Structure 1
Amino acid sequence: MGALLSKRRKRKTGVGEVKVVESCMVTPSEETPRRGLWLSPLDLMLINRGHTPTVYFYRSDSGATVEHFFDVVRMKVAMAKALVAFYPLAGRLGVGVHGRAEIDCAGQGALFVVARSGLTVDDFRSFRPSPELRKLFVPRVQHDSSSVMCAVQVTFLKCGGVALGTAMHHVAADAISAFHFFQTWSAFSRNPSAAQELPAVHDRTLLRARSPPFVHPDALSVFCPKLNLSDPSGPIVSETFDISKDQVAALKRACAGDSGRVSTFCALSAHVWRCVCIARRLPPDATTRLTFPASVRRSLRPPLPAGYFGNGIIWLGAAGKVRDVTSSENLSSVTGRITGAVRRMDDELVRSAIDYFELTLGETDGQPAPAGCMPETELRVISWLGMPVYDVDFGWGKPLAMVRAESERAGFVYLMDGSQGGGGVRVHICTDAEILSDFQRLLYAKL
């Protein structure tokens, strides 16, 4: 399953130390297609986003030895089997004959790192994104191994628990596809003879641009392709807030208005948008905008296959005057703006978005996404609600928590199901430090 890549080394941060004891490549256990995988415009728009860093925390309550609790050999065997079906994750980012980026699928392997630490799960009980969390538990793929599609790190903690850090290149998969892989890998670890429940589909030409490409004039009123970033004006902080099941239900009732029903995403996004605008003390006449990713999988005609593996998201937006967004009487109206944007996504809008990105290929030139913050009038909310975060059970129990390891851009919010999927929601926000206290007060005031 690959040769040892590096000698033992230590990582030090302000909160502790991690010793890497093994680093190797896990390759598919069977022969896989060897080809350059064509990438759709929705893949290529994310090529400069690099690797998405996440960390799963597991606690050992069985009294089993550390070695038995997360058997590394068993995990590698399961990964090798999963990579047969998800073979692009064993490939490398490359360039095709026409200069277009592609994934070189030649079975090169996924990076697998094993480490040990004197830290405990309780040292991270807030489960808050931070640079330290990424440095400690997420395998490093920023430099000579930047073309690796998938990397994981199993860190054995002093308490007997485990931190599983992952880094998946965004050009390979969006969140839906990434969780599909982790579900499959963990299922094979639980039961090596298990059959894959949902086959992976790798035909990314399903999201090919039209010929000739055409962007509908109305598309850009909802579709938001640009990420506008500016330099931070002060310190940036990340914090996590827990919203209980009862609080979510109360908020949804307040946001429903005459419609009677509203989604958890729309209600929470509207509430967070309102709280941020007030905390930032924006002028009432200013125009504010909320943007968010939406899956195109069911909006296309015909819809994408259920196991489509790749990127299938576009960015939608809703806008309004600050006075309208911040008015407590208008909460249902603000929720309606977001709901309306979601409902406007149809086949033509998605096709126009695909064509737009095809026409603008090359604008980023493969450079890393610039650091910075969203403009103060804008907010971006990314939802992982309803995704199988807590289904990543390798045979030793479900994760205690899963968190994006680092969120470095102010103006970004992540919504995730609460611990073990109990009906609550975790709100991760990266914001200017000066508004955090006001935001927290406002977030809970209506709940």
Structure 2
Amino acid sequence: MGAVLSKKRIRKSDAVVQEVKVVESCMVAPSAQTPRHGLWLSPLDLMLVNRGHTPTVYFYRSESGGDFFDVARLKAAMAKALVAFYPLAGRLGVGGRDGRAVIDCAGQGALFVAARSELAVDDFSGFKPSPELRRLFVPRVEDYSPPVMCAVQVTFLKCGGVALGTALHHVAADAISAFHFFETWSAFSRDGDAAAAAALEPPFHDRTLLRARSPPFVHPDALTVFCPKLNLSTEPSARPVVSEAFDISKDQVAALKSACVSGEGGRVSTFCAVSAHVWRCVCVARRLPPDATTRLTFPASVRRSLRPPLPAGYFGNGIIWLGAAGQVRDVASSGSEGLPSVADRIRGAVRRMDDELVRSAVDYFELTTEADSKPAPGRMAETELRVISWLGMPVYDADFGWGKPLAMLRAEAERAGFVYLMDGGQGAGSVRVVICTEAAILDDFQRLLYAKF
């Protein structure tokens, strides 16, 4: 018997965009001597060398007195965190005779910006990505050459709250590594030196563990599930694109996971269940031709799939993109076997992750030219959906001593067809779905997301 997801209305921000006034901008260097060398980058890093910085924003509501987000305390804590995470104080450079990109680690520092604004936390109660969110709260890094690896902006709002914008260069860290740094920085600010150092996993910086084989070899079966590139159309879309956030409660997630279990039984992860449901909803809302082939791609961490596994705290890029595909009529089927079948397609791709697949992916990118790593122009085909999961990651653990963030999100979506999943604000087990898609299908997508399944 199907369950029904209750609808939660998301209030749209009606704030008038106002400028942010920068009051301080400086470089924060590590507080102690750090290694000085060109940090070798793996093929999984190099594929992102031209991808630029990942923009995120944390929102904090003021619950305390006058020292709320004290700038001196934040900078001192960052300087201590950068001792262990010293590549984030470096710059993108070129090393050796081969011209291969490296992170030039010489303690140059991370960019720290303090600012003020007449906006308030409640002006962004929808907490969804937008170009204005990035423009207002994420520090500008475009003017720095060579590129900085890490930049943060602390914006004090008129309500007493704070927007903490961050920009980490993707060549330096994936999401797992980025959250590791923010956990460490906030712990130094919150708990002090000894407690932070004792409680946290130190980062591991030897990226040669993801060196390509000699000679590189891509197993023929790898490309049936490994998806190194997006399928993009060079034709611009005439339809406006918007981002929106939807919340699914713990009970609703449990019901969805139960609906994904096939007759043979078996456990279905939250990621597989929610991704399968979102994929079906997008296919139906976009009114795709039944005989078209649709594909869902998603990042998967290689850290535990290698033999031996990567060390705990591996700092860098340790993800590859996997994919599941099928005909629209099968993915969008409303029959009793439809949702379990779609979840099984995704689960099957996850289960294919092993040492050979990861090594083949690393070798593939070793053989890929630098030109191929540049972000391609154009839009994703409507048959494509890309789901990025931050489920289970310490998204809300960035407590600098003044409480956990009210919300955290990517500041600006990349393009239509991108979906982010993260633990929701309705308690453990809830999920927030942030989707960037064509405005014309948003109402249908919302109706389908909260309909019977």
- Structure 1 length normalisation: TM-score? 0.94
Q: Which of 233, 236, 241 is the matching residue for 2:246?
A: 241
Note the alpha carbon deviations across 1:162-199, whole angstroms, 9 max, x for none.
Answer: 00000000000000000000000000001222215201
**Following superposition of structure 1 onto structure 2, how do residues 91-110 of structure 1 map, counting pairs within 5 Å?**
91-97=90-96, 98-110=98-110
- 2:317 aligns with 311
Name the SS of the counterpart of 1:202 in structure 2.
coil
1:84 and 2:74 matched = no
Q: Secondary structure at the match of 1:238?
A: strand
Compute the displacement of 1:227 (Å): 1.8
Equivalent in the alignment of 2:171: 171
1: CA distance between counterparts of 2:388 and 2:255?
22
Q: Is 1:251–1:446's contact at 8 Å kept on the other side of the alignment?
A: no
**From 209, 213, 220, the counterpart of 1:210:** 213
Which amino acid in 2 is paired with 1:273? W
In the TM superposition, residue 306 of structure 1 has moved relative to its aligned partner by: 0.9
> Residue by residue, what CA displacement relative to the aligned partner does 1:75-107 show, whole Å, maximum 9, x if unpaired?
101000000000000000011122101100000
Pairing partner for 2:259 from 251, 254, 259 = 254
Partner of 1:133: 133
Distance, in Å, in 1 between the alignment partners of 2:377 and 2:414 is 8
Point out which structure has higher relative CO (alpha carbons under 8 A, 6+ apart).
Answer: 2
Tell whether the 8 Å contact from 1:44 to 1:361 is kept in structure 2 after alignment: no
1:301-340 alignment to 2 at 5 Å? 301-329=307-335, 330-340=338-348
> Which position in structure 2 is the counterpart of 1:406?
412
1:424 aligns with 2:426: no
1:112 — aligned with what?
112
Counterpart in 2 of 1:26?
Answer: 28
Pairwise CA distance, 1:47:
1.5
In the alignment, the residues of structure 2 paired with residue 306 and residue 251 of structure 1 have an alpha-carbon distance, to the nearest angstrom, of 32
Which residue of the partner structure matches residue 359 of structure 1? 367
Shift of 1:228: 2.3
Where does structure 1 lack aligned partners over 5 or more consecutive residues?
A: 1-12
Q: Which moved more, 1:13-22 or 1:237-246?
A: 13-22
Q: Structure 2: any 5+ residue segments left out of the alignment?
A: 1-14
Instruction: Report the 3-state secondary structure (helix = DSSP H, G, I; strand = E; otherwise coil) of the residue aligned with 1:135.
Output: helix
CA distance in 1, matches of 2:86, 2:414: 30
Corresponding residue to 1:299 among 291, 302, 305: 305
Write out per-residue CA displacement over residues 203-257 of structure 1, whole angstroms, 9 at most, x where no aligned residue.
0000000000000000000000012222323111111111111111111110122
Query: C-alpha distance in 2, partners of 1:103/1:446?
Result: 50
Which residue identity is paired with 2:412?
Answer: E
Q: Say yes or no: does 1:199 pair with 2:205.
A: no
Work out which of the residue numbers 445, 448, 453 in structure 2 matches 1:439.
445
C-alpha distance in structure 2 between counterparts of 1:372 and 1:138, whole Å: 24
2:113, 2:265 → 1: CA distance?
50
Residue identity over aligned pairs, in percent, reads: 80
How many equivalent pairs are there?
430
Task: Indicate the residue corresponding to 1:189 in structure 2.
Answer: 189
Please give the alpha-carbon distance, in whole angstroms, between the structure 2 residues aligned to 1:145 and 1:112. 16
Q: How many Å separate the matches in 2 of 1:314 and 1:120?
A: 38
CA contact (8 A) 1:400 1:420 kept: no
Question: Which residue of structure 1 aligns with residue 143 of structure 2?
Answer: 143
Distance 1:315 1:129 in 2: 23
Could you tell me which amino acid in structure 1 is paired with residue 383 of structure 2?
T
Q: Could you tell me how far apart the structure 1 residues matched to 2:408 and 2:145 are?
A: 25
Distance 1:222 1:212 in 2: 22
1:15 maps to 2:23: no
Counterpart of 2:210, as a letter, is: L
Instruction: Report what 1:415 is aligned to.
Output: 421
Q: 2:354 aligns to what? A: 346
State which drifts further: 414-423 or 192-201.
414-423
Alignment partners' CA distance in 2, 1:290 and 1:277: 11
